[in-house]
A and B are shown apart, each in its own frame.
Chain A
């Protein structure tokens, strides 16, 4: 009896249900866009507030934004290299900020209090579409970075130490976006599920350490995603001798 009610209540977590938006022939996951617009809107407001009055002696919000900028620059510079990191810093930074804001927004804001007709609001990165979109963008950018920096010599990378590497390197082009998207998706979804289940089972105190762990995982996943994206781009533009 108890187990049965547990299962029904598990269903209340509404895993894999979506708020569908139908525009013409295409169908969208509305809850993903709703949360992403709210979070990105907050991010943009935060950033425009911080950059409104830039001074040489940074104060308050500008300090934080400069720290963030410096952090992203260091990340891009160490992974991509001194020569082209400037071109890719906005992209890497956007990935980092988008993933970070999505993860933390999903974990910190009590979205479940807002009732939707179907599905529920949560981290945009807990939807496979978002993570695949990000991963494919990373794939496109490292191809573009390699081709625009080295021309056709980019393909030397595939046979770099020896031609034996060719099949593995081709395989890598598929595993890179796959691992990027599924790592992020899996971590964030798992965190949401664990917290959801724990809140349902023991609504007091016990979920708090797991929530903190979730925040930690969220931040780490953002860092991992941005670092790997930068590393792939750096690998593509690296000169072999």
Chain B
């Protein structure tokens, strides 16, 4: 009546070991082969193909990134040299214009000085001429006055 009486049972019982054991083992081995061809191989192929694809892409991207970095550095040095070149040109032009300005200034100064000198000389000569004429007229006038005084007497 009580089914828990499984030890010593001639028929049945929990520990009844029979041909189920080897057949189950064969079944599991067969299942291993079936699952290998149905599941493990195809899924493994797909997963590993994708993993390879991803890792290849990562490597490629890394290569591209390093190339980009190299190009960037190249461009940076080019930019730097262009900048210094431009600076040089600008400073050259500045000094050139400075020189030209100074030259022109000097020229103009000289010219102005020369014409000032000329004018001064002219004024001086005219002044002296006028003074001579004036003193001559004074002499004449004094002579005339003297003569008149003498005649009247």
Contact = CB atoms under 8 A, between A and B. Distances in A.
25 contacts: A17-B3, A26-B18, A26-B19, A27-B19, A28-B20, A32-B20, A33-B20, A44-B38, A47-B39, A51-B39, A54-B43, A55-B46, A62-B43, A69-B43, A72-B40, A73-B44, A90-B40, A93-B40, A94-B31, A129-B24, A130-B21, A130-B24, A133-B22, A133-B28, A136-B21
Contacts of B6: 15-16
Contacts of B64: none
Contacts of A93: 35, 39-40
B14 A16 contact: yes
Contacts of B49: 56
Interface residues of A, number: 53
Contact of A136 (B1, B25, B27, B38): B25
Interface of A is mostly: helix
Nearest to B9: A16
Most chain A beta carbons < 10 A, residue from B1, B2, B12, B49: B12
B1 A8 contact: yes
Contacts of A73: 44
Contacts of A94: 28, 31-32, 35-36
Interface in A87-131: 89-91, 93-95, 97-98, 119, 124, 127-130
A89 B44 CA distance: 10
A80 interface: no
A47 B47 CA distance: 15
Nearest to A118: B12
Interface string A14-33: 11111000000011110011
Given A70-B47, A90-B40, A136-B25, A16 B31 contact: no
Q: Which 3 A-B pairs have the closest CB atoms?
A: A129-B20, A26-B19, A16-B6
Contact of B13 (A16, A58, A91, A130): A16
A48 interface: yes
A84 interface: no
A90 B18 contact: no
Given A27-B19, A28-B23, A129-B20, A47 B3 contact: no
Nearest to B43: A69
A202 interface: no
Contacts of A11: 1-3
Contacts of B18: 26-29, 129
Given A15-B14, A33-B20, A128-B17, A51 B28 contact: no
B19 A28 contact: yes
Interface of A: 7-8, 10-11, 13-18, 26-29, 32-33, 36, 40, 44, 47-48, 51, 54-56, 58, 62, 65-66, 69-70, 72-73, 89-91, 93-95, 97-98, 119, 124, 127-130, 132-134, 136-137, 189
Given A36-B24, A94-B35, A18 B43 contact: no
A211 B31 CA distance: 28
Nearest to A15: B3
Given A70-B47, A133-B22, A137-B25, 16 more contacts: A7-B2, A10-B2, A16-B14, A28-B19, A29-B16, A33-B24, A40-B27, A47-B35, A47-B38, A51-B39, A55-B46, A56-B49, A129-B17, A129-B18, A130-B21, A133-B28
B13 to A, nearest CB: 5
Contacts of A130: 20-21, 24
A175 B12 CA distance: 25
